[in-house]
Amino acid sequence: MYPITYISLPYWNERPKKTIIKSVVLHCSTHEAVPMIKLLKRLHLSAHFVIGTDGRIFQLVPEEKRAFHAGVSRWRNMYNLNHYSIGIELSTPKMGQTAYHETQIKAAMQLCRDLVRRYDIPSANIVAHSDVAPTRKPDPGIMFPWKKFADNGIGLWYDIADAEKVLENDKAVLLEQIGYDTRNPAAASYAFCRHFLPQLVATEDDVTKLIAQVYPPDFNIPDEYLPVLKACAYAFTKSD
């Protein structure tokens, strides 16, 4: 069992009655773990867990309580992910634009695997903050190892051969089948690329600009990458 350091924050409330935990939302911050916790306290925010670059895990809020981490958010049939999710913050100096530390990723996978097991969380609901809030958030960034997580039984990845099994070609429909809120198509498309096609996402040395301009307003997934979108839609619909 991975060691956990408990640092309680008061910024939580009760989950709505009869609500069950059925998602993990992964975040990142440029701050190391302890300064991040101090910042969350100052902002009256919280997450259930914070994982430092050295792999240390801190728990700030009891899992059964509703932490203040996802904000206005939507994924599949869930509105306001705070109700349904466990929030995990990871320290990374460039908002996930540089490689995560291996020790940190190992700790995150151990924690996520345990949460998935204990709450029977669907693979389709292991998501990025950028997935559930595509107009507002870029985290945990293009270097988060989603495929590695999926290969270890945490979340979903795609098999490009499955693209041939999908007849739908409308990108918005395919994004909705995965789980994205497509009311802003450019934001949803860019969030999808952050997760599955990071090579199409521009890096930004100025993190403040990255946070202020989360997506290009006219972005559209290039047609040559439609098979990836179709293969992902197949993986997510098959998981239902």
Q: DSSP string of 28-96?
A: EESS-HHHHHHHHHHHT---SEEE-TT--EEE-S-TTEEES-S-S-EETTEESGGGTEEEEEEE-TTTT
The pair of three-digit structure tokens given for residue 77, joined into one six-digit string = 């049939």
200-212: average pLDDT: 96
- What is the average pLDDT value for the chain, to the nearest integer? 97
Residue for token digits 């998935």? 116
Assess contact for 22 and 121: CB atoms under 8 A: yes
18-33: average pLDDT: 97
**Beta strand 23-29 with 85-91: parallel, antiparallel or unpaired?**
parallel
Confidence label for 1 from pLDDT (cuts 50, 70 and 90): low
Q: Tell me, what CATH number does 30's domain have? A: 3.40.80.10
Phi-psi region of 148 (alpha: psi -120 to 50; beta: other; left: phi over 0): alpha
The crossing angle, in degrees rounded to 10, of helices 171-178 and 226-239 is 30
Q: Decide if pLDDT at 171 tops 90.
A: yes
Model confidence pLDDT, tens digit, residues 41-80: 999 999 999 999 999 999 999 999 999 999 999 999 999 9
Which of helix, strand or coil describes residue 108? helix
Least Cα distance to 128 among 116, 120, 136 occurs for: 136
Report DSSP state, residue 18. Answer: T
List the domain range (segments joined by +) for residue 34: 4-239
Integer-rounded Cα Rg, in Å, for the chain is: 17
Catalytic, 32? Answer no
Domain count, the chain: 1
**Beta strand 78-79 with 74-75: parallel, antiparallel or unpaired?**
antiparallel
Confidence label for 2 from pLDDT (cuts 50, 70 and 90): confident
Give the containing element (helix H, strand E) for 236: helix 226-239
Instruction: Give CA–CA dist 168/98, Å, rounded.
Output: 35
Q: How many CB atoms lie within 10 A of CB 159?
A: 11
Instruction: Tell me which of 89, 168, 204, 224 is the catalytic residue.
Output: 89
pTM for the whole structure: 0.97
